[in-house]
């Protein structure tokens, strides 16, 4: 499993080595194929709002966006590229305060949520949201 990490924001301090290790643990818990790849990019809260508008027609701040490429491979690449997870750490930090959660726990939730979207989970309906929430809770308990 290859995870590419990029930090394009300066709003929150991150330990990228720790983030990558946690993401690999979550990927293992969720049984991602070992030959798969994904990226996690940290951006400002304003950039994620622009991306949310561009890809989902929602002009609102959000903590995580997942852009899936499931089932597609790139020419010359052996690995299956699942897609991109984009996280706004400042929004995650605000959510952590609002839900009385630690910042690291909130980041873990964002990573898990993003990976589940890349695996095809949806949270559009209440039934889908409940199924996804249960899967998140199961994975996070095993961390």
CA of 134: how far to CAs of 98, 104, 109, in Å?
Answer: 21, 20, 12
Digit-coded pLDDT (tens) for 71-125: 555 554 555 889 999 999 999 999 999 999 999 999 999 999 999 999 889 999 9
> Residues 122, 77: contact at Cβ < 8 Å?
no
Digit-coded pLDDT (tens) for 40-58: 999 999 999 999 999 999 9
Dihedral angle at the C-alpha atoms of 71, 77, 81, 87, nearest 10 degrees?
-160
> Residues 41, 8: contact at Cβ < 8 Å?
yes
pLDDT at site 33: 85
Dihedral over Cα of 84, 41, 129, 2: its sign = positive
CA of 100: how far to CAs of 1, 61, 93, in Å?
Answer: 32, 19, 10
CA dist 18 and 54 (Å) reads 30
* SS3 at position 65: strand
Q: Is the pLDDT of residue 60 over 60?
A: yes
Tokens matching residue 121 = 């989970």
Q: Is the pLDDT of residue 13 over 90?
A: yes
pLDDT at site 74: 52
Q: How do the domains of the chain map onto residue ranges?
A: 2-141
CATH of 2-141, one of 3.40.50.2000, 3.30.470.30, 3.30.499.10, 3.40.390.30: 3.40.390.30
């Amino acid at each position: 499993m290859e995870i590419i990490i990029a930090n394009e924001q300066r709003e929150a301090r991150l330990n990228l080595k720790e983030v990558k290790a946690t993401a690999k643990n979550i990927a293992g818990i969720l049984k991602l194929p070992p030959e798969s790849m994904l990226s996690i990019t940290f951006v400002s809260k304003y950039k994620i709002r622009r991306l949310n508008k561009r890809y989902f027609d929602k002009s609102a701040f959000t903590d995580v966006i997942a852009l899936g490429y499931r089932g597609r491979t790139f020419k010359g690449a052996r690995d299956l590229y699942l897609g991109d997870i984009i996280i706004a750490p400042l929004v995650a930090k605000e959510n952590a305060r609002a839900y009385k959660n630690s910042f690291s726990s909130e980041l873990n939730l964002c990573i898990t949520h993003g990976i589940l979207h890349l695996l095809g989970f949806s949270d559009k309906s209440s039934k889908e949201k409940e199924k996804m929430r249960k899967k998140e809770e199961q994975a996070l308990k095993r961390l």
